[in-house]
């Protein structure tokens, strides 16, 4: 007759099929009890650690959802995008900025055509605040301080994501390219009191110098309210609400925000608008030429030839005045 299936397990433990002495049984029971106590203590410690972590997660979720407690759907905030933008010798990163009605939109169109004609791939990152206001966000004048800070933080986060996406694609194409930014990240600080800007940076753990270093060149197109007042208008931008005086003040604040950047070209209104745009193109062309210029070799050892970068040429124009600051 076949032995029961549990016989092998019994034999392993040193038992036979016959009855064991009572004292031996009691010893086994004692060992089982010790094992049980040890296992219970181990489980208790594990539950304590697990429970503490669960409690911390619960606290974090509650804090994150406190501002949207009435919303049945809760989205956990995603990690902030990386701030440092990797440099690439083939990709030139240019900010177009300035006060209201400085000509950024018109200049962007001309610059795009100019550099495409020179063989560059051209990418344009649009002005994020304008996109957001066109989506239905109320004017800043209607916001309380907390609401304004929320808006400005989201502008920064959205622009960082947009910039990183475009720059990643431009680098992946492995071709000479110019990326134009319709305003840069430091422009956000121009529309905030200084203490609020610093508070925003502290809360996001971002460093101003990191935001500044994401760009190779800053082209500041001075507002028409300073030197070309008769051309100052809000008709071409329904989100523009500034008067002439406020436009001048904002223009200066924007210029101050970028004062520490090493390459800033300030394009004033000393000429007509067409030549103003041409001077902006010349500033970009000059930096592109410097960036693509081969470094002086340390030795006379021949190097492997690389794919040539298109030689940028500025559009022909009459002599004009461009105020350029290099800090």
pLDDT tens string 52-109:
555 565 555 445 544 444 444 444 444 455 566 767 889 999 999 999 989 998 999 9
For helices 145-173 and 194-204, angle between their N-to-C axes, nearest 10 degrees: 60
Helix (H) or strand (E) holding 115: helix 104-117
- Whether the CB-CB separation of 267 and 281 falls below 8 Å is answered with no
Position 57 scores a pLDDT of 58
User: Angle at Cα 85 formed by Cα 198 and Cα 146, nearest 5°?
Assistant: 30
Mean pLDDT of the 132-145 span: 90
Mean pLDDT of the 165-192 span: 95
Give every CB contact of residue 271 below 8 A, 6+ residues apart in sequence: 279, 320, 321
- Whether the CB-CB separation of 190 and 139 falls below 8 Å is answered with no
User: Angle at Cα 318 formed by Cα 314 and Cα 320, nearest 5°?
Assistant: 90
324 forms bridges with which residues in the sheet?
A: 265
Position 88 scores a pLDDT of 84
Band of residue 287 on the pLDDT scale cut at 50, 70, 90: very high
Helix (H) or strand (E) holding 164: helix 145-173
Position 243 scores a pLDDT of 78
Position 321 scores a pLDDT of 42
Q: Give the Å distances, CA to CA, from 6 to 3, 28, 186.
A: 8, 18, 76
Integer Cα distance of 79 and 104 in angstroms: 32
Position 140 scores a pLDDT of 86
Residue with the bigger pLDDT between 42 and 215: it is 215
Q: What is the mean pLDDT of the chain?
A: 76
Q: Taking 80 as the threshold, does the pLDDT of residue 184 lie above it?
A: yes
Q: Taking 90 as the threshold, does the pLDDT of residue 121 lie above it?
A: yes
Q: Is 152 left (phi over 0), alpha (psi -120 to 50) or beta?
A: alpha
Confidence (pTM): 0.65
Q: Taking 50 as the threshold, does the pLDDT of residue 25 lie above it?
A: no
CA nearest 141: which of 54, 242, 219? Answer: 242
Tell me the three state secondary structure of residue 96. strand
Helix (H) or strand (E) holding 91: strand 91-97
CB atoms within 10 A of CB 218: 29
Band of residue 292 on the pLDDT scale cut at 50, 70, 90: confident
Position 69 scores a pLDDT of 43
Residue with the bigger pLDDT between 27 and 159: it is 159
Q: Give the Å distances, CA to CA, from 236 to 198, 231, 232, 248, 276.
A: 32, 11, 10, 18, 19
Q: What are phi and psi of 125, to 5 degrees?
A: -95, 115
CB atoms within 10 A of CB 204: 14
Band of residue 316 on the pLDDT scale cut at 50, 70, 90: very low
């Amino acid at each position: 007759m076949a032995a029961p299936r549990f016989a092998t397990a019994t034999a392993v433990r040193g038992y036979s099929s016959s009855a064991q002495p009572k004292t031996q049984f009691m010893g086994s029971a004692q060992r089982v009890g010790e094992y049980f106590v040890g296992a219970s203590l181990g489980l208790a410690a594990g539950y304590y650690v697990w429970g503490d972590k669960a409690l911390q997660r619960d606290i974090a979720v509650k804090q994150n959802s406190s501002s949207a407690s009435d919303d049945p759907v809760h989205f956990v905030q995603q990690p902030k995008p990386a701030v440092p933008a990797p440099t690439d010798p083939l990709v030139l990163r240019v900010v177009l900025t300035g006060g209201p009605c400085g000509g950024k939109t018109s200049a962007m169109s001309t610059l795009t055509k100019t550099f495409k004609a020179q063989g560059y791939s051209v990418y344009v990152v649009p002005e994020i605040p304008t996109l957001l206001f066109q989506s239905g966000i109320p004017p800043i004048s209607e916001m309380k301080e907390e609401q304004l800070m929320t808006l400005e933080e989201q502008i920064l986060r959205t622009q960082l994501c947009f910039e990183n996406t475009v720059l990643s694609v431009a680098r992946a194409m492995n071709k000479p390219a110019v990326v134009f930014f319709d305003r840069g990240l430091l422009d956000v600080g121009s529309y905030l009191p200084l203490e609020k800007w610093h508070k925003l940076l502290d809360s996001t753990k971002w460093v101003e110098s990191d935001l500044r270093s994401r760009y190779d060149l800053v082209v500041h197109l001075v507002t028409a309210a300073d030197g070309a007042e008769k051309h100052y208008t809000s008709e071409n931008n329904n989100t523009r609400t500034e008067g002439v005086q406020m436009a001048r003040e904002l223009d200066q604040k924007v210029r101050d925000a970028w004062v520490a950047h090493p390459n800033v070209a300030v394009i004033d209104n000393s000429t007509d608008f067409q030549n103003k745009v041409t001077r902006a193109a010349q500033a970009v062309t000059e930096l592109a030429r410097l960036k693509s210029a081969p470094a002086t070799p340390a030795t006379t050892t021949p190097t492997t030839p690389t794919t040539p970068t298109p030689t940028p040429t500025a559009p022909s124009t009459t002599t004009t005045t461009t105020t350029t600051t290099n800090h």
